[in-house]
Amino acid sequence: MILINEGIEAVLDIADEILLIKGLGLSKEDVAALRNIWEKLRDRRINRKRKKVIKDLVLV
């Protein structure tokens, strides 16, 4: 229900706390840096897909 009510960020916050901070012993700063990297890669992947769709539409 967390995903529906609060979104993916809330789920990621919980997973980061359990797995990365408590499980692996990473600092909150390290986890924030990893999240930032993940967001950049996610956005890059999404934008790449959009550009391909637009390119395909132009070719049609």
Residue whose tokens read 């901070």: 21
pLDDT at 8: 86
Indicate the residue type of 21. Answer: I
Q: Cα(47)–Cα(44) distance, rounded to whole angstroms?
A: 5
pLDDT tens for the 60 residues of the chain, in order: 666 778 888 999 999 999 999 999 999 999 999 999 999 999 999 888 777 767 666 665
Taken in order 27, 30, 35, 38, the sign of the CA dihedral is: negative
- Chain-centroid distance of CA 29 in Å reads 16
**pTM beyond 0.75, yes or no:** no
Q: Cα(15)–Cα(55) distance, rounded to whole angstroms?
A: 37
pLDDT at 55: 66
